[in-house]
Structure formats: C-alpha cells, structure tokens
Amino acid sequence: MAEYCSQCSPFENEFDIDLFKTALKLKNGNSESFICEGCNNRAVYKDETGKVYLAKLVKGEIELQPVNIEELIK
Ligand SMILES: [Zn+2]
C-alpha cells in the first residue's frame, strides 16, 4: 500500500505520515526519515535550537527546507 504524508495525501484526514505529530515529538538535533510515495518529502529534522526542517529529495539530493511547525498542521 502506498504511504502518503499529511502534506500530499489525496484522502481527507487520512495519511500514514503525520508531519506535524512527527515534528512535535522530535527532540532537538534529531530527525525522522520516511518514504512518502506522493511527494518528495523524506524526513523531518529538528535542529539544536528547535527549528524544524523538511528534508526533500530534489534531483537526487536531500534539501533541507525550514518550515514553521504550524504549517504542518493539517
Ligand atoms: Zn507526501
């Protein structure tokens, strides 16, 4: 079965990877990776200061994009 993250799930309120909850439970300096089959999100990362990033696979390389945790609430 395909797994979708909360950013790209085609289903209403139904997704396997909840980006907001994942970001919430991450400790500073940690990351959690996953494979979303609907988009290029590959991991959520929280740096030492608590800033949250989405790691996206862009042209074969991982790119860190800073996000506000509120943007991940679905
Ligand atoms: Zn996705």
Over pLDDT 90: what percentage of the chain? Answer: 89
- Hey, what are 49's tokens? 């200061």
Domain boundaries, the chain: 19-72
Write out pLDDT tens, residues 29-44: 999 999 999 999 999 9
The whole-model pTM stands at 0.90
CB 4 within 8 A of CB 38: yes
Instruction: For residue 21, give every residue at least 6 positions away whose Cβ sits within 8 Å of its Cβ, in sequence order, or none.
Output: none
Q: Calculate the average pLDDT of the chain.
A: 95
Q: How confident is the model at residue 2 (pLDDT cuts 50, 70, 90)?
A: confident
Ligand 1 midpoint to CA 55 (Å): 11
Using the mean position of ligand 1's atoms as its centre, give its distance from the Cα of residue 60 in Å.
16
